[in-house]
Amino acid sequence: MGGVLATASIPAGTYSQLRIVIIGGCVETSEGSVFATADYGGCGEADGELRMPSFDASGLKVMFDEVEVTESGQLTGLSFDIAEAFGHGTGRSGWNMEPEIAASGFVLTAGIDVTLSEGSVTMPSGVELGQFSATLVPAVGESSEVSFVDANSNGVFEVTFQSLLPENGPFSVQLNPPSDVTADVTPSSPTMVNPAAGQVANVDWVLTNVTKTDDGVICGWWVCN
């Protein structure tokens, strides 16, 4: 059975374990008995108490062979048999979880951080950076589009693509202006990047030209717009 984790940034270093903090849960046995932690109702009415020693503090320990991360990178998940943590019953009244399990696989993915800034251009009336988006096109797999946001309120808008498998690269990153706008950036769009496992590549676009197209129809005196 595989265990999948949310993407998490990990600093450069050497690692041999991951701790997953679990504040509540339940176990249902093959006989239909349900054991749950206090105030957890995800499995309905419990028949007894589920004891998870220190899971809400130091966490469930997932052990694996030592892995060196040379740059700040991203961890998508670990392959492990969650059944190893299920522990054993203590009679009808309770069930004890095991505090440590072994992982069979460690997956380092890649990421791409994209920024967009105005530079020295003058933005046309009604056009904002938040109306732009970026599309990621992998060599293998489906493309994805994400809108730019200014998370830090510093005038630089960002898009982040996470949990990328390096073997699906190289990746093309394309700038998408609003439908009534044409725009040029440096470096040019699309930009090709190929981050390695555990690495985050950066694409820092600066606008060099922004033009708003005329939505009306140009015509002579005999035709109305």
Query: What's the confidence (pLDDT) of residue 19?
Result: 83
For the ranges 62-66, 75-79, 193-197, 201-205, which has the lowest average pLDDT?
A: 75-79
> Are the C-beta atoms of 113 and 205 separated by less than 8 Å?
no
For residue 56 the two structure tokens come to 């809400």
CATH class of 110-209: mainly beta
Query: What's the confidence (pLDDT) of residue 106?
Result: 67
Query: What's the confidence (pLDDT) of residue 76?
Result: 53
Neighbours of 59 (CB within 10 A): 16
Q: Which part of the chain has CATH 2.60.40?
A: 110-209
pLDDT for 74 beyond 50: yes
DSSP tag of 115: E
pLDDT tens digits, 108-139: 788 899 999 999 999 999 999 999 999 999 99
Residues 6 or more apart whose CB falls under 8 angstroms from that of 30 comprise none
pLDDT for 197 beyond 70: yes
pLDDT for 6 beyond 80: no
pLDDT for 89 beyond 80: no
State how far the Cα of 13 lies from the Cα of 67, in Å rounded to an integer: 8
Q: What percent of the chain has pLDDT over 70?
A: 79
pLDDT for 2 beyond 50: no
pLDDT tens digits, 158-188: 999 988 889 999 999 999 999 999 999 999 9
Ordered alpha helix ranges (H), 46-113: none
